[in-house]
A and B are shown apart, each in its own frame.
Chain A
Amino acid sequence: MNPSGENTAVETSGLTKRYRRATALSDCSVTVPLGRISALVGPNGAGKSTLLRLLTGLAWPTGGSALVLGGTPRQDPAFLADIGYLAQDVPLYRQLSAEDHVQAGARLNERWDGASARTRLRELGVPLDRAVGTLSGGQRAQVGLSLALAKRPRLLLLDEPVAALDPLARRHFFATLTTAMAESEEGLTVVLSSHLIADLERVCDHLILLAASRVQLCGDIDDLLAEHVVLVGPRKDTAPIERAHTVVHATTTPRQTTLVIRRGGPVIDPAYQAEDIGLEDLVLAYMGAAAPPAYAHLSTVGEEQ
């Protein structure tokens, strides 16, 4: 991490949001480098939307701080000019057409690339003149994304943008997003929340994992996968493993132990077979570790064995 923040799109330190009765986000310290697509994952209620809203200045923290593109999040035009935000369920005016939205954007934003939004939507076969309420979910998502991109943002925050879409519409949505990124001259960083890990695995190269209002993992996905290993072996005392490594999640049957560990060095115990971990198993291991005890018996890793 660059201490001056030059290479950092988002940097939070101890960011906390408490409501009268509940804590939505607690002591959240994350860094997202510039030019990445960061996956924001975690169970419902883990604080994903809260974090995104804090980064846009739509909500104020009760503790800690955030730096977004070098500035403190606030609802003023100077800060918001560089930030695109697409809230959950793609809020659009259902009676208005995509063209109406593009024109409204031109009046509301100083920097606005309406032409590219129209071209993009035409290429995707999304009618510009029909009320958005009559479009399919996939088309509405593309309208929302095209509007967010028309701002020419340097940071795009997307809150579960594909949750309601079928697989083909999701693929098209991500193709639009990644193409915009490849074409962006100023550089674009994306933070997107989703539950669909298989999609995230192909699109994202950075991960923020929240569970129980706290950050469980944050970093480069390839690095995180390399740091973690699944160990499968006979059921026996795991203390030697726990001394050398951090056990994230353990599943035991009368005969077998399956461990997800964060490596503290090479694994040398020959009784265990070490296997690479995939993103989905890694995420589930951390979510499982933070889950209520009622679910503790559920195996989350290595089910195929």
Chain B
Amino acid sequence: MISFRVDGRSGVPPYLQLVQQVRQALRMGVLDVGDQLPTVREVVAEVAVNPNTVLKAYRDLEREGLVEARAGQGTFVRRRPTGPPPTTHSRLGRSLARWVREAREAGLDDESIESLLKVTLRSADTATADFGEGIA
């Protein structure tokens, strides 16, 4: 069983924080196929969020095919998220560490590195969004 955290000031909507934490737990192997997610009541008692928020998060995960609701029993993990295996994460992590070292040597502080990463991510997002909804 996993436990959730909800940060009210992160800017990420609470339901999305729950979704991300389940996906993360699946990627890291903390949750496995067949495992049960906490019930709505348990989540709500633990992190004091709206029950609808938990339902919305579980519905999203169900739509993704990651979990399934079994009537009268609860919500269970159906499969791991698709995407690269954990080895890819560690490989990319190593090359990012090299890049960070390079950036520090060039005199960038953490704040500059973070804003550079944000800008790069956002411009990559915008490039994708132009083909999608076109909201930029």
- Which of the segments A47-55, A56-64, A81-89, A201-209 contacts the partner chain? A201-209
Contact A37 B50 (CB under 8 A): yes
Against B, the Cβ 8 Å flags (1 = close, 0 = not) of A241-284 are 00000000000000000000000001110100010101000000
Minimum C-beta distance from A278 to chain B (A): 5
A 17-46 contacts with B by CB, 8 A: 35-37
Q: How many residues of A contact B (CB 8 A)?
A: 29
- Of A179, A202, A225, most buried by chain B (CB within 10 Å of CB) is A202
Bound together, the chains give a CA A3 to CA B81 distance in angstroms of 41
Complex alpha-carbon distance, A292 and B9, angstroms: 28
Decide yes or no: A174 and B48 within 8 Å by CB, A198-B8, A199-B8, A274-B135 being known contacts: yes
Q: Are B49 and A178 in contact (CB under 8 A)?
A: yes
A222 in contact (CB, < 8 A): yes
- Residues of B with C-beta under 8 A to A175: 44-48
Contacts of A267 in B (CB 8 A): 135-136
Q: Report the minimal beta-carbon distance from A57 to chain B, rounded to whole angstroms.
A: 27
Taking the complex as formed, is A181 at the interface, i.e. its CB lies under 8 A from any CB of chain B?
yes
Cα separation A35 to B49 with both chains bound (whole Å)? 14
Give a binary string over B94-136; 1 marks a CB under 8 Å from any A CB, 0 the rest: 0000000000000000000000000000000000000001111
| Dominant secondary structure of chain A at its interface with chain B | helix
User: Complex formed: what's the CA distance from A222 to B9 in Å?
Assistant: 15
Is residue B26 within 8 Å, beta carbon to beta carbon, of the partner chain?
A: no
* B19: min CB distance to chain A, Å: 13
| Chain A residue, CB-CB nearest to B55 | A182
CA distance A268 to B134 in the complex (A): 8
Determine if B48 and A183 form an interchain contact, defined as CB atoms under 8 angstroms apart.
Answer: no
Known contacts A35-B52, A178-B51, A181-B51: does B14 contact A201 (CB below 8 Å)? yes
Can you report 15 residue pairs joining A to B where beta carbons are below 8 Å apart?
A35-B52, A37-B52, A172-B48, A177-B48, A178-B44, A178-B45, A178-B50, A179-B44, A181-B44, A181-B50, A205-B52, A222-B13, A267-B136, A270-B136, A274-B135
Chain B positions near chain A (C-beta within 8 angstroms): 6, 8-9, 11, 13-14, 40-41, 44-53, 133-136
